[in-house]
Amino acid sequence: MSTAPLQQFGILSLLGHLGARARQIVQRVSDRMRFAFQAAAVVFRLRSLGIGYTWRVILNQVKFTGLHAVPFLTFVSAVSSALLVIQVLNQVSKLGFEAIIGTVYVAALVRELAPLLTAVVVIGRSGTAIAAELSTNRVWEEITALETMGIDPLHYVVFPRLVGVTLATMCLVVYFDVVALIFGYISARLTTGMTAGTYLRYIIDQFTMADFYVTGLKSFLFGIIIALIPSFHGLVVRGAPTDVPKATTRAVVECLALVFLVSGVVSALFYY
Amino acid sequence: MDIPMGSGADTLSEAMSGEGHDHRGETVLRCRGLQAHHHGEVILAGLDLDIQLGEVVSLIVESEWAARLVPRVLIGLESSDGGEVELQGTRLSGLSEHLKLQLRRNIGYLFHNSGLIHNLTVWYNVALPALYHTRFKDLQGVGEHVNVLIDRCQLTEWSNLRPAELDESSRKRVALARAWVMSPAFLVYEDPLMNIDTASGSELLDLSFGPTPPEWAGRDPRPADSAVLITSQGLHEGLFRYVDRMIVIKEGEVAFSGNPKQFDRRAKVHLRDLINTKEASDHEL
Protein backbone atom coordinates (compact mmCIF):
# COMPACT_ATOMS: atom_id res chain seq x y z
CA MET A 1 0.00 0.00 0.00
CA SER A 2 1.34 3.41 -0.96
CA THR A 3 2.01 5.79 1.94
CA ALA A 4 1.77 8.91 -0.29
CA PRO A 5 -1.88 9.69 0.51
CA LEU A 6 -1.18 9.32 4.22
CA GLN A 7 1.84 11.62 3.99
CA GLN A 8 -0.21 14.06 1.97
CA PHE A 9 -2.96 13.87 4.57
CA GLY A 10 -0.41 14.47 7.33
CA ILE A 11 1.03 17.54 5.59
CA LEU A 12 -2.44 18.92 4.87
CA SER A 13 -3.46 18.34 8.45
CA LEU A 14 -0.31 20.10 9.69
CA LEU A 15 -0.89 23.02 7.31
CA GLY A 16 -4.52 23.22 8.40
CA HIS A 17 -3.45 23.22 12.05
CA LEU A 18 -0.85 25.93 11.41
CA GLY A 19 -3.40 28.00 9.49
CA ALA A 20 -5.94 27.74 12.28
CA ARG A 21 -3.30 28.70 14.83
CA ALA A 22 -2.19 31.69 12.73
CA ARG A 23 -5.81 32.82 12.38
CA GLN A 24 -6.25 32.52 16.15
CA ILE A 25 -3.14 34.64 16.78
CA VAL A 26 -4.28 37.30 14.29
CA GLN A 27 -7.71 37.34 15.97
CA ARG A 28 -6.16 37.75 19.43
CA VAL A 29 -3.88 40.55 18.28
CA SER A 30 -6.75 42.36 16.53
CA ASP A 31 -8.97 42.03 19.66
CA ARG A 32 -6.30 43.67 21.79
CA MET A 33 -5.59 46.35 19.19
CA ARG A 34 -9.31 47.18 18.96
CA PHE A 35 -9.51 47.44 22.75
CA ALA A 36 -6.42 49.70 22.80
CA PHE A 37 -7.95 51.98 20.14
CA GLN A 38 -11.27 52.12 22.02
CA ALA A 39 -9.40 53.07 25.21
CA ALA A 40 -7.38 55.66 23.30
CA ALA A 41 -10.59 57.07 21.79
CA VAL A 42 -11.73 57.98 25.31
CA VAL A 43 -8.87 60.48 25.47
CA PHE A 44 -10.31 62.24 22.41
CA ARG A 45 -13.81 62.21 23.94
CA LEU A 46 -12.60 63.74 27.20
CA ARG A 47 -13.88 67.12 26.13
CA SER A 48 -17.44 65.84 26.20
CA LEU A 49 -16.99 63.21 28.93
CA GLY A 50 -14.80 65.33 31.19
CA ILE A 51 -12.42 64.01 33.83
CA GLY A 52 -15.20 64.42 36.41
CA TYR A 53 -15.35 61.79 39.07
CA THR A 54 -12.60 59.68 37.45
CA TRP A 55 -9.90 61.85 39.08
CA ARG A 56 -10.61 59.96 42.30
CA VAL A 57 -9.98 56.63 40.56
CA ILE A 58 -6.79 58.01 38.95
CA LEU A 59 -5.46 59.16 42.35
CA ASN A 60 -6.23 55.78 43.91
CA GLN A 61 -4.45 54.03 41.05
CA VAL A 62 -1.35 56.23 41.32
CA LYS A 63 -1.30 55.65 45.07
CA PHE A 64 -1.63 51.87 44.73
CA THR A 65 0.67 51.36 41.74
CA GLY A 66 3.24 54.01 42.63
CA LEU A 67 3.34 54.83 46.32
CA HIS A 68 2.54 51.38 47.70
CA ALA A 69 5.16 49.75 45.45
CA VAL A 70 7.99 51.92 46.80
CA PRO A 71 9.19 49.67 49.69
CA PHE A 72 9.36 46.52 47.55
CA LEU A 73 10.89 48.35 44.59
CA THR A 74 13.54 49.86 46.90
CA PHE A 75 14.46 46.35 48.01
CA VAL A 76 14.62 45.01 44.43
CA SER A 77 16.64 48.00 43.20
CA ALA A 78 19.06 47.95 46.15
CA VAL A 79 19.75 44.22 45.94
CA SER A 80 20.07 44.04 42.14
CA SER A 81 22.36 47.09 41.89
CA ALA A 82 24.52 45.97 44.81
CA LEU A 83 24.92 42.47 43.38
CA LEU A 84 25.77 43.78 39.93
CA VAL A 85 28.34 46.29 41.19
CA ILE A 86 29.98 43.82 43.58
CA GLN A 87 30.28 41.09 40.91
CA VAL A 88 31.67 43.46 38.27
CA LEU A 89 34.13 45.25 40.57
CA ASN A 90 35.41 41.96 42.00
CA GLN A 91 36.39 40.91 38.48
CA VAL A 92 37.76 44.17 37.09
CA SER A 93 39.33 45.92 40.11
CA LYS A 94 42.35 43.57 40.00
CA LEU A 95 42.99 44.81 36.45
CA GLY A 96 42.40 48.47 37.31
CA PHE A 97 39.29 48.82 35.14
CA GLU A 98 37.04 50.36 37.83
CA ALA A 99 35.82 52.94 35.29
CA ILE A 100 33.74 50.18 33.75
CA ILE A 101 31.29 50.69 36.64
CA GLY A 102 29.87 53.69 34.73
CA THR A 103 29.15 51.52 31.69
CA VAL A 104 27.59 48.83 33.86
CA TYR A 105 25.35 51.30 35.62
CA VAL A 106 24.17 53.07 32.47
CA ALA A 107 24.08 50.17 29.97
CA ALA A 108 22.87 47.39 32.23
CA LEU A 109 20.84 49.17 34.90
CA VAL A 110 19.45 52.40 33.44
CA ARG A 111 18.79 51.18 29.90
CA GLU A 112 17.68 47.60 30.56
CA LEU A 113 17.25 46.36 34.12
CA ALA A 114 15.57 49.39 35.70
CA PRO A 115 12.60 49.51 33.29
CA LEU A 116 12.33 45.71 33.13
CA LEU A 117 12.53 45.01 36.86
CA THR A 118 10.17 47.91 37.60
CA ALA A 119 7.73 46.52 35.04
CA VAL A 120 7.95 43.05 36.61
CA VAL A 121 7.18 44.53 40.05
CA VAL A 122 4.27 46.60 38.68
CA ILE A 123 2.88 43.59 36.78
CA GLY A 124 3.14 41.48 39.94
CA ARG A 125 1.31 44.03 42.04
CA SER A 126 -0.94 46.15 39.82
CA GLY A 127 -1.36 44.01 36.68
CA THR A 128 -2.68 41.10 38.73
CA ALA A 129 -4.85 43.42 40.82
CA ILE A 130 -6.40 45.09 37.77
CA ALA A 131 -7.17 41.78 36.03
CA ALA A 132 -8.58 40.21 39.20
CA GLU A 133 -10.61 43.29 40.15
CA LEU A 134 -12.14 43.90 36.73
CA SER A 135 -12.94 40.23 36.11
CA THR A 136 -14.62 40.07 39.52
CA ASN A 137 -16.52 43.25 38.67
CA ARG A 138 -17.61 41.62 35.43
CA VAL A 139 -18.72 38.40 37.16
CA TRP A 140 -20.74 40.38 39.75
CA GLU A 141 -22.25 42.45 36.94
CA GLU A 142 -20.79 45.68 38.32
CA ILE A 143 -19.61 46.62 34.82
CA THR A 144 -23.11 46.02 33.45
CA ALA A 145 -24.47 48.13 36.31
CA LEU A 146 -22.18 50.98 35.24
CA GLU A 147 -23.55 50.69 31.71
CA THR A 148 -27.13 50.91 32.96
CA MET A 149 -26.18 54.17 34.70
CA GLY A 150 -24.86 55.59 31.45
CA ILE A 151 -21.29 55.29 32.72
CA ASP A 152 -18.78 54.29 30.06
CA PRO A 153 -16.59 51.51 31.56
CA LEU A 154 -13.73 52.55 29.27
CA HIS A 155 -13.90 56.07 30.72
CA TYR A 156 -14.60 55.21 34.35
CA VAL A 157 -12.64 51.95 34.69
CA VAL A 158 -9.94 51.70 31.99
CA PHE A 159 -8.93 55.34 31.41
CA PRO A 160 -8.01 56.06 35.08
CA ARG A 161 -5.97 52.87 35.23
CA LEU A 162 -4.23 53.76 31.98
CA VAL A 163 -3.29 57.21 33.27
CA GLY A 164 -2.50 56.07 36.81
CA VAL A 165 -0.37 53.05 35.93
CA THR A 166 1.54 54.88 33.18
CA LEU A 167 2.35 57.86 35.42
CA ALA A 168 3.29 55.61 38.33
CA THR A 169 5.48 53.32 36.20
CA MET A 170 7.42 56.28 34.75
CA CYS A 171 8.04 57.68 38.24
CA LEU A 172 9.00 54.26 39.61
CA VAL A 173 11.63 53.72 36.90
CA VAL A 174 13.28 57.03 37.83
CA TYR A 175 13.06 56.06 41.50
CA PHE A 176 14.64 52.65 40.71
CA ASP A 177 17.58 54.43 39.01
CA VAL A 178 18.12 56.75 41.99
CA VAL A 179 18.06 53.89 44.52
CA ALA A 180 20.38 51.84 42.27
CA LEU A 181 22.76 54.81 42.07
CA ILE A 182 22.91 55.10 45.88
CA PHE A 183 23.27 51.38 46.61
CA GLY A 184 25.68 50.98 43.70
CA TYR A 185 27.91 53.60 45.31
CA ILE A 186 27.68 51.96 48.75
CA SER A 187 28.67 48.62 47.20
CA ALA A 188 31.53 50.18 45.20
CA ARG A 189 32.79 51.95 48.32
CA LEU A 190 32.72 48.72 50.36
CA THR A 191 34.32 46.66 47.56
CA THR A 192 37.08 48.97 46.30
CA GLY A 193 36.95 52.07 48.53
CA MET A 194 35.86 54.19 45.53
CA THR A 195 35.05 57.82 46.37
CA ALA A 196 31.69 59.39 45.58
CA GLY A 197 33.26 61.87 43.15
CA THR A 198 34.99 59.15 41.15
CA TYR A 199 31.88 56.98 41.14
CA LEU A 200 29.70 59.84 39.85
CA ARG A 201 32.25 60.88 37.23
CA TYR A 202 32.43 57.34 35.82
CA ILE A 203 28.64 57.27 35.55
CA ILE A 204 28.10 60.78 34.14
CA ASP A 205 30.74 60.10 31.46
CA GLN A 206 28.61 57.25 30.14
CA PHE A 207 25.25 59.03 30.04
CA THR A 208 23.88 60.15 26.66
CA MET A 209 20.60 61.85 25.78
CA ALA A 210 19.48 58.58 24.17
CA ASP A 211 19.50 56.97 27.63
CA PHE A 212 16.89 59.47 28.85
CA TYR A 213 14.73 58.94 25.77
CA VAL A 214 14.98 55.16 25.98
CA THR A 215 14.16 55.04 29.69
CA GLY A 216 11.26 57.44 29.22
CA LEU A 217 9.91 55.61 26.18
CA LYS A 218 10.21 52.17 27.73
CA SER A 219 8.55 53.15 30.99
CA PHE A 220 5.75 54.92 29.09
CA LEU A 221 5.08 51.88 26.86
CA PHE A 222 5.34 49.47 29.80
CA GLY A 223 2.79 51.53 31.72
CA ILE A 224 0.36 51.36 28.82
CA ILE A 225 0.86 47.60 28.43
CA ILE A 226 0.45 46.93 32.17
CA ALA A 227 -2.78 48.95 32.27
CA LEU A 228 -4.38 47.76 29.04
CA ILE A 229 -3.64 44.03 28.91
CA PRO A 230 -5.02 43.20 32.40
CA SER A 231 -7.99 45.53 31.76
CA PHE A 232 -8.71 43.67 28.52
CA HIS A 233 -8.52 40.25 30.17
CA GLY A 234 -10.59 41.45 33.12
CA LEU A 235 -13.36 42.90 30.99
CA VAL A 236 -13.73 40.00 28.55
CA VAL A 237 -14.58 37.56 31.34
CA ARG A 238 -18.12 36.25 31.10
CA GLY A 239 -19.98 34.39 33.78
CA ALA A 240 -18.22 32.14 36.23
CA PRO A 241 -16.00 33.18 39.18
CA THR A 242 -13.60 30.41 38.11
CA ASP A 243 -12.68 32.62 35.14
CA VAL A 244 -11.09 35.20 37.48
CA PRO A 245 -7.81 33.33 38.18
CA LYS A 246 -7.60 32.29 34.52
CA ALA A 247 -7.94 35.91 33.37
CA THR A 248 -5.32 37.01 35.90
CA THR A 249 -2.81 34.36 34.79
CA ARG A 250 -3.33 35.16 31.12
CA ALA A 251 -2.89 38.88 31.81
CA VAL A 252 0.39 38.36 33.72
CA VAL A 253 1.93 36.04 31.12
CA GLU A 254 0.92 38.30 28.24
CA CYS A 255 2.17 41.43 30.02
CA LEU A 256 5.55 39.85 30.77
CA ALA A 257 5.96 38.63 27.20
CA LEU A 258 5.02 42.03 25.74
CA VAL A 259 7.20 43.99 28.14
CA PHE A 260 10.29 41.90 27.28
CA LEU A 261 9.47 42.10 23.57
CA VAL A 262 9.00 45.88 23.63
CA SER A 263 12.15 46.33 25.70
CA GLY A 264 14.15 44.37 23.12
CA VAL A 265 12.65 46.28 20.17
CA VAL A 266 13.25 49.73 21.73
CA SER A 267 16.85 48.88 22.69
CA ALA A 268 17.49 47.47 19.23
CA LEU A 269 16.09 50.63 17.60
CA PHE A 270 18.28 52.98 19.67
CA TYR A 271 21.52 51.09 20.18
CA TYR A 272 22.09 48.81 17.17
CA MET B 1 -42.95 56.83 14.86
CA ASP B 2 -40.11 56.41 12.43
CA ILE B 3 -36.88 58.01 13.45
CA PRO B 4 -34.06 58.35 10.95
CA MET B 5 -31.03 57.33 12.96
CA GLY B 6 -27.99 58.10 10.89
CA SER B 7 -24.81 56.51 12.16
CA GLY B 8 -23.14 59.90 11.77
CA ALA B 9 -24.86 61.34 14.86
CA ASP B 10 -22.15 62.38 17.31
CA THR B 11 -24.26 63.47 20.24
CA LEU B 12 -27.51 62.27 21.68
CA SER B 13 -29.20 65.62 21.20
CA GLU B 14 -28.16 65.46 17.55
CA ALA B 15 -29.57 61.95 17.29
CA MET B 16 -32.79 62.92 19.06
CA SER B 17 -33.35 66.01 17.00
CA GLY B 18 -34.10 63.86 13.95
CA GLU B 19 -37.40 64.19 12.16
CA GLY B 20 -40.15 62.31 13.95
CA HIS B 21 -38.77 62.67 17.48
CA ASP B 22 -41.61 62.92 19.95
CA HIS B 23 -40.85 66.20 21.72
CA ARG B 24 -44.05 65.97 23.75
CA GLY B 25 -42.33 63.00 25.41
CA GLU B 26 -45.36 61.11 26.71
CA THR B 27 -44.21 57.72 25.48
CA VAL B 28 -41.06 56.69 27.26
CA LEU B 29 -40.71 53.22 25.81
CA ARG B 30 -42.12 51.82 22.61
CA CYS B 31 -41.26 48.47 21.09
CA ARG B 32 -42.69 46.72 18.05
CA GLY B 33 -42.30 43.05 17.13
CA LEU B 34 -39.50 42.57 19.65
CA GLN B 35 -37.96 39.11 19.54
CA ALA B 36 -35.48 37.56 21.95
CA HIS B 37 -34.17 34.02 22.38
CA HIS B 38 -31.89 32.40 24.89
CA HIS B 39 -30.20 29.09 24.04
CA GLY B 40 -33.04 28.16 21.70
CA GLU B 41 -35.75 29.11 24.21
CA VAL B 42 -38.18 31.74 22.92
CA ILE B 43 -38.26 34.61 25.41
CA LEU B 44 -40.14 37.10 23.24
CA ALA B 45 -41.83 36.29 19.95
CA GLY B 46 -42.80 39.74 18.73
CA LEU B 47 -43.68 41.91 21.73
CA ASP B 48 -45.49 45.21 21.14
CA LEU B 49 -45.33 47.48 24.16
CA ASP B 50 -45.85 51.17 24.93
CA ILE B 51 -45.14 52.68 28.34
CA GLN B 52 -46.21 56.25 29.12
CA LEU B 53 -44.85 58.66 31.68
CA GLY B 54 -46.43 58.03 35.08
CA GLU B 55 -47.45 54.46 34.21
CA VAL B 56 -46.36 51.40 36.22
CA VAL B 57 -46.23 48.25 34.09
CA SER B 58 -45.50 44.76 35.33
CA LEU B 59 -44.10 42.28 32.81
CA ILE B 60 -44.37 38.72 34.03
CA VAL B 61 -42.22 36.10 32.33
CA GLU B 62 -41.59 32.42 32.74
CA SER B 63 -37.94 32.20 33.77
CA GLU B 64 -35.40 34.09 35.88
CA TRP B 65 -33.26 34.49 32.80
CA ALA B 66 -36.13 36.03 30.85
CA ALA B 67 -36.80 38.48 33.69
CA ARG B 68 -33.21 39.72 33.31
CA LEU B 69 -32.90 39.54 29.55
CA VAL B 70 -36.09 41.40 28.56
CA PRO B 71 -35.38 44.71 30.37
CA ARG B 72 -31.77 44.63 29.17
CA VAL B 73 -32.92 44.23 25.58
CA LEU B 74 -35.37 47.10 26.09
CA ILE B 75 -32.62 49.51 27.18
CA GLY B 76 -30.10 48.31 24.60
CA LEU B 77 -27.75 46.47 26.95
CA GLU B 78 -28.35 43.22 25.07
CA SER B 79 -29.19 42.94 21.42
CA SER B 80 -32.57 41.66 20.28
CA ASP B 81 -33.21 39.02 17.63
CA GLY B 82 -35.66 41.23 15.78
CA GLY B 83 -38.04 44.14 16.13
CA GLU B 84 -37.56 47.77 17.10
CA VAL B 85 -37.19 49.59 20.40
CA GLU B 86 -37.58 53.34 20.87
CA LEU B 87 -36.44 54.73 24.17
CA GLN B 88 -37.58 58.28 24.93
CA GLY B 89 -38.22 58.78 21.25
CA THR B 90 -34.87 57.44 20.07
CA ARG B 91 -34.61 54.24 18.10
CA LEU B 92 -31.95 51.97 19.56
CA SER B 93 -31.02 50.09 16.40
CA GLY B 94 -28.05 51.72 14.72
CA LEU B 95 -27.24 53.82 17.78
CA SER B 96 -23.59 53.73 18.82
CA GLU B 97 -22.64 52.44 22.29
CA HIS B 98 -21.61 55.96 23.25
CA LEU B 99 -25.05 57.36 22.40
CA LYS B 100 -26.81 54.48 24.14
CA LEU B 101 -24.83 55.33 27.28
CA GLN B 102 -25.96 58.96 27.01
CA LEU B 103 -29.56 57.79 26.64
CA ARG B 104 -29.32 55.65 29.78
CA ARG B 105 -28.43 58.65 31.94
CA ASN B 106 -32.16 59.25 32.14
CA ILE B 107 -32.95 55.67 33.19
CA GLY B 108 -32.90 54.29 36.72
CA TYR B 109 -32.18 50.56 36.78
CA LEU B 110 -32.64 48.24 39.75
CA PHE B 111 -30.68 45.01 39.30
CA HIS B 112 -32.02 41.61 40.35
CA ASN B 113 -28.85 41.17 42.46
CA SER B 114 -28.62 44.89 43.35
CA GLY B 115 -25.56 45.37 41.08
CA LEU B 116 -23.78 47.52 43.64
CA ILE B 117 -20.10 48.44 43.35
CA HIS B 118 -18.48 46.42 46.10
CA ASN B 119 -15.45 48.62 46.74
CA LEU B 120 -17.60 51.72 47.30
CA THR B 121 -19.52 52.58 50.45
CA VAL B 122 -23.31 52.80 50.48
CA TRP B 123 -23.10 56.61 50.16
CA TYR B 124 -20.83 56.51 47.13
CA ASN B 125 -22.89 53.73 45.53
CA VAL B 126 -25.98 55.93 45.70
CA ALA B 127 -24.07 59.02 44.60
CA LEU B 128 -22.06 57.43 41.79
CA PRO B 129 -24.33 58.24 38.79
CA ALA B 130 -24.79 61.82 40.02
CA LEU B 131 -21.09 62.32 40.76
CA TYR B 132 -20.17 60.92 37.36
CA HIS B 133 -22.70 62.88 35.32
CA THR B 134 -22.44 66.19 37.17
CA ARG B 135 -19.92 68.86 36.21
CA PHE B 136 -17.47 69.69 38.99
CA LYS B 137 -18.89 73.18 39.57
CA ASP B 138 -22.38 71.76 40.10
CA LEU B 139 -21.34 69.04 42.57
CA GLN B 140 -22.35 71.01 45.65
CA GLY B 141 -26.02 70.01 45.53
CA VAL B 142 -25.30 66.34 44.87
CA GLY B 143 -24.22 65.50 48.42
CA GLU B 144 -27.36 66.95 49.97
CA HIS B 145 -29.64 65.14 47.50
CA VAL B 146 -27.85 61.84 48.19
CA ASN B 147 -28.18 62.31 51.96
CA VAL B 148 -31.94 62.88 51.60
CA LEU B 149 -32.32 59.76 49.43
CA ILE B 150 -30.30 57.67 51.87
CA ASP B 151 -32.50 58.93 54.70
CA ARG B 152 -35.68 58.18 52.72
CA CYS B 153 -34.49 54.61 52.11
CA GLN B 154 -33.61 54.18 55.82
CA LEU B 155 -29.93 53.70 55.14
CA THR B 156 -28.43 56.59 57.12
CA GLU B 157 -26.76 54.47 59.79
CA TRP B 158 -25.18 52.25 57.13
CA SER B 159 -24.02 54.94 54.72
CA ASN B 160 -20.33 54.27 55.47
CA LEU B 161 -20.59 50.49 55.14
CA ARG B 162 -19.83 48.53 52.02
CA PRO B 163 -22.46 46.41 50.27
CA ALA B 164 -20.97 43.13 51.52
CA GLU B 165 -21.71 44.24 55.11
CA LEU B 166 -25.46 44.59 54.43
CA ASP B 167 -28.23 42.04 54.03
CA GLU B 168 -29.87 41.55 50.63
CA SER B 169 -32.94 43.59 51.52
CA SER B 170 -30.79 46.61 52.50
CA ARG B 171 -28.69 46.20 49.36
CA LYS B 172 -31.90 46.40 47.31
CA ARG B 173 -32.76 49.67 49.06
CA VAL B 174 -29.31 51.03 48.25
CA ALA B 175 -29.81 50.01 44.61
CA LEU B 176 -33.24 51.66 44.67
CA ALA B 177 -31.79 54.93 45.99
CA ARG B 178 -29.13 54.75 43.28
CA ALA B 179 -31.81 54.20 40.62
CA TRP B 180 -33.62 57.32 41.88
CA VAL B 181 -30.62 59.63 42.29
CA MET B 182 -30.80 61.12 38.77
CA SER B 183 -34.61 61.57 39.03
CA PRO B 184 -35.01 59.54 35.83
CA ALA B 185 -38.03 59.59 33.55
CA PHE B 186 -37.90 55.81 33.17
CA LEU B 187 -37.34 53.30 35.97
CA VAL B 188 -36.66 49.63 35.30
CA TYR B 189 -36.93 47.09 38.11
CA GLU B 190 -35.35 43.81 37.09
CA ASP B 191 -36.93 41.01 39.14
CA PRO B 192 -36.90 43.28 42.25
CA LEU B 193 -38.30 40.70 44.65
CA MET B 194 -35.72 38.07 43.86
CA ASN B 195 -33.61 36.76 46.79
CA ILE B 196 -35.64 38.59 49.45
CA ASP B 197 -38.40 37.32 51.70
CA THR B 198 -42.05 38.29 51.34
CA ALA B 199 -41.98 40.89 54.15
CA SER B 200 -38.87 42.60 52.74
CA GLY B 201 -40.41 42.45 49.27
CA SER B 202 -43.56 44.22 50.52
CA GLU B 203 -41.41 46.86 52.25
CA LEU B 204 -39.48 47.43 49.03
CA LEU B 205 -42.71 47.82 47.04
CA ASP B 206 -44.18 50.18 49.65
CA LEU B 207 -41.00 52.23 49.59
CA SER B 208 -41.10 52.38 45.80
CA PHE B 209 -44.79 52.92 45.15
CA GLY B 210 -46.53 53.47 48.48
CA PRO B 211 -48.04 56.80 49.54
CA THR B 212 -45.63 59.43 50.86
CA PRO B 213 -45.36 59.16 54.68
CA PRO B 214 -46.47 62.33 56.54
CA GLU B 215 -42.88 63.16 57.62
CA TRP B 216 -41.85 63.27 53.96
CA ALA B 217 -44.80 65.31 52.74
CA GLY B 218 -43.65 68.04 50.38
CA ARG B 219 -40.04 66.83 50.29
CA ASP B 220 -40.24 63.25 49.01
CA PRO B 221 -37.13 62.66 46.88
CA ARG B 222 -38.68 59.80 44.88
CA PRO B 223 -38.86 60.57 41.15
CA ALA B 224 -42.35 61.84 40.40
CA ASP B 225 -44.31 60.69 37.34
CA SER B 226 -41.61 58.37 36.05
CA ALA B 227 -42.62 55.48 33.83
CA VAL B 228 -41.88 52.20 35.60
CA LEU B 229 -41.33 48.75 34.13
CA ILE B 230 -41.13 45.83 36.54
CA THR B 231 -40.11 42.45 35.20
CA SER B 232 -40.46 39.35 37.31
CA GLN B 233 -40.42 35.63 37.07
CA GLY B 234 -43.87 34.56 38.07
CA LEU B 235 -46.61 36.67 39.52
CA HIS B 236 -46.25 38.41 42.86
CA GLU B 237 -49.61 39.48 44.19
CA GLY B 238 -47.90 42.24 46.19
CA LEU B 239 -47.51 44.05 42.89
CA PHE B 240 -51.27 44.04 42.23
CA ARG B 241 -51.78 47.06 44.45
CA TYR B 242 -49.32 49.26 42.62
CA VAL B 243 -49.24 48.42 38.93
CA ASP B 244 -51.47 50.05 36.32
CA ARG B 245 -51.02 47.30 33.78
CA MET B 246 -49.91 43.68 33.84
CA ILE B 247 -48.53 41.82 30.87
CA VAL B 248 -48.01 38.09 31.16
CA ILE B 249 -45.68 36.43 28.65
CA LYS B 250 -46.08 32.72 28.08
CA GLU B 251 -43.91 30.88 25.55
CA GLY B 252 -42.87 34.23 24.13
CA GLU B 253 -46.43 35.42 23.44
CA VAL B 254 -48.59 37.84 25.43
CA ALA B 255 -50.97 35.60 27.39
CA PHE B 256 -52.61 38.42 29.35
CA SER B 257 -52.49 42.18 29.16
CA GLY B 258 -54.61 44.52 31.19
CA ASN B 259 -55.48 46.06 34.50
CA PRO B 260 -54.77 43.87 37.56
CA LYS B 261 -58.49 44.01 38.37
CA GLN B 262 -59.14 42.24 35.08
CA PHE B 263 -56.75 39.50 36.11
CA ASP B 264 -59.55 37.33 37.45
CA ARG B 265 -59.76 33.82 38.77
CA ARG B 266 -60.06 32.37 35.29
CA ALA B 267 -56.89 34.03 34.11
CA LYS B 268 -55.10 32.88 37.24
CA VAL B 269 -56.07 29.28 36.63
CA HIS B 270 -55.10 29.58 32.97
CA LEU B 271 -51.69 30.93 33.94
CA ARG B 272 -51.38 28.74 37.00
CA ASP B 273 -47.83 27.60 36.21
CA LEU B 274 -46.67 31.21 36.18
CA ILE B 275 -48.09 32.09 39.58
CA ASN B 276 -45.30 32.49 42.09
CA THR B 277 -46.12 30.52 45.20
CA LYS B 278 -44.49 33.19 47.37
CA GLU B 279 -47.75 34.99 47.87
CA ALA B 280 -50.29 33.29 45.72
CA SER B 281 -50.70 29.75 46.99
CA ASP B 282 -52.77 27.13 45.25
CA HIS B 283 -55.26 27.62 48.03
CA GLU B 284 -55.83 31.21 46.94
CA LEU B 285 -56.50 30.06 43.40
Q: Is the pLDDT of residue A249 over 90?
A: yes
Residue A21 lies in a domain: no
Q: Is the pLDDT of residue B17 over 60?
A: no
- As a whole number, the mean pLDDT across chain B is 82
Q: Is the pLDDT of residue B13 over 50?
A: no
pLDDT tens, position by position, A127-158: 999 999 999 999 989 999 999 999 999 999 99
Q: Is the pLDDT of residue A37 over 80?
A: yes
Ranges of each domain in chain B: 23-106+223-285
Count of domains forming chain A: 1
Using a CB-CB cut-off of 8 Å, the residues of chain A touching B15 are: none
Using a CB-CB cut-off of 8 Å, the residues of chain B touching A145 are: 109, 111, 115-117
Residue A13 lies in a domain: no
pLDDT, residue A82, reads 93
Residues 126-145 of A with CB under 8 A from B: 133, 137, 140-142, 144-145
Query: Nearest 5°: phi and psi at B37?
Result: -130, 155
A41 CB within 8 Å of a chain B CB? no
A19 CB within 8 Å of a chain B CB? no
Residue A178: half-sphere exposure toward Cβ, Cα within 13 Å: 9
Instruction: Assess if CATH 3.90.1010.10 describes domain B23-106+223-285.
Output: no
Mean pLDDT of A216-220: 95
pLDDT, residue B75, reads 93
A150 CB within 8 Å of a chain B CB? yes
pLDDT tens, position by position, A46-95: 766 666 677 888 899 999 999 999 999 999 999 999 999 998 888 887 77
Residue B7 pLDDT class (50, 70, 90 cuts): very low
Distance CA(B68)–CA(B71), nearest Å, equals: 6
Collect contacts of B52-55 with beta carbons under 8 A, ≥24 apart: B52/B26, B52/B27, B52/B28, B52/B227, B53/B25, B53/B26, B53/B27, B53/B28, B53/B185, B53/B225, B53/B226, B53/B227, B54/B225, B54/B226, B54/B227, B55/B227, B55/B228, B55/B244, B55/B245
